Chain A
Amino acid sequence: MIEVINLSKSFGELQVLKDVNITIRKGEKVVVIGPSGSGKSTFLRCLNCMEVPTSGNIFFHGVDLADQKVDINIHRQKMGMVFQHFNLFNNKTVLQNIMLAPVYVEKKRMRKLRRSNPENEKIKTVAEIKKEAKANAMELLKRIGLEDKAGEYPSRLSGGQKQRVAIVRALAMNPDVMLFDEPTSALDPEMVGEVLELMKELAHEGMTMVVVTHEMGFAREVADRVVFMADGYIAEEGSPEQLFGNPQNPRTQHFLQSIL
């Protein structure tokens, strides 16, 4: 589904990613671990071109996202991203947060449809689009037990609630893959569990996931493949059993010792 070829990324003089190659298959759960500053976030952010790669290719459904001519927004709509600091829209309620992008995309699609084929019966009105998006958003909120928070602003939610809303906000776009950048690192310890639970649910439903995390328990339980990054390289990768049980690279061994 995603094929990364010779991906490099520099910030000025600093080369953060060096020739990264990886293929992520449909339904696969890849967990990325590694010391701080090793380029994990940059790698993840290159996948949906939040950082523009310096060189290399990112093929998503066969389209090279690193190509400047590609309309990146269309592809990002199918790649959900979850951030360490949630990045919920502060000026929107929980419900509006979830509805915003689906309504925007659907409106755009209808405009295009109307232009190409004005007689088309399938053209929805704005009210219909909103109604659908709202029903879907409420469904998602119910799923995480937060339907009573629909009208609240993000500032009134706990960290765990915010992150779960951020996850379903991404799900509202029916993404093909979900990218997580340390989704539990900014949470109070007692809230980590609820977020990991939701992520495990997604995993069991077959979602393709790329997760940067320090939660080794999660990696062991969920990952099909664990990738260890160091200094902008993929230093080692393998199944959780291999990587945690019998790491080959001394850096991996050292890293795993240091965090246990």
Chain B
Amino acid sequence: MGNFGAKIDKFLDIFIDADGYKTVLEGLGNTLKIAVLGLVIGIIIGTLIATVRVIPKYKLLPRILNSICSFYVAFFRGTPMVVQLLLSYYVALPLMGINLPSVSVAVVVFGLNSGAYISEIMRGGILSVDPGQMEGGRAMGLTFGKTMTAIVIPQAVKNILPTLGNEFITLIKETSVVSFVGALDLYVAFNRIGSNSYEFMVPYLVMAVIYIILVLIISGLVKVMERSLRKSDRSH
């Protein structure tokens, strides 16, 4: 056990005295940034795709859009996130002659990727809303789009909130792949501390604890949001 105490001392030396905490804070910041912005972009893309997929398909345009969306979803769900990240950072962007910081690339790729997953979640959410809600809106002369945004999607979001929370947690956990394109995230930060001290046990333990705390906080927030959204469901 004395051995473990020494390891803790070593970790604290670097974490506090050698400003390791700054690296960790930056890593934590990037992890949250990638996950949060990725989720936001994902929700926007996912909602658009889900909406396209539930539009009645009498006309040509919805059918074309629908095919594009199907392909998009198939691509992003059918390839690993690491591959998408590497393709974007080392292939697509250089080919286009664009130079972006790795964290920004990660945000976009995470957004595109989670958009594919969220579109499926959102579609389920939309289909779970009573069709009478759409009918009620359309019968009053509201357009499909207005009924969707004002009536159906808010109810769909409420239905899928726990699943969206899980998607966010998945994103947080998956951020560790951004080290492949050289971005500094929580994992890279602790890896650096480990490399500097030649001691990985404590850094990785602390890292795991931070991940768990993040996940617990998010789960708590989702519960609070669910409770406040359920207000409209309470009956007599």
Contact = CB atoms under 8 A, between A and B. Distances in A.
Interface stretch (A72-80, A188-196, A207-215): A72-80
B232 A76 contact: no
Contacts of B136: 83, 87-89, 166
B58 to A, nearest CB: 8
A156 interface: yes
B141 to A, nearest CB: 3
B231 A153 contact: yes
A104 B233 contact: no
B201 interface: no
- Interface SS majority for chain B: helix
Interface residues of B, number: 24
A90 interface: yes
A101 B150 CA distance: 11
A158 B235 CA distance: 9
A77 B141 contact: yes
B22 interface: no
A104 B158 CA distance: 23
The 10 closest A-B pairs by CB, nearest first: A87-B136, A77-B141, A76-B141, A81-B139, A153-B232, A87-B132, A101-B140, A73-B141, A155-B235, A91-B154
Interface of A: 48, 50, 73-81, 83, 85-92, 100-101, 104-105, 153, 155-156, 158, 166, 169-170, 173
30 contacts: A50-B135, A50-B138, A73-B141, A73-B142, A76-B140, A76-B141, A80-B140, A81-B139, A83-B132, A83-B135, A83-B139, A86-B132, A87-B135, A89-B133, A89-B150, A89-B151, A90-B155, A91-B151, A91-B154, A91-B232, A101-B137, A101-B141, A104-B146, A153-B233, A153-B234, A155-B232, A156-B234, A156-B236, A166-B136, A173-B140
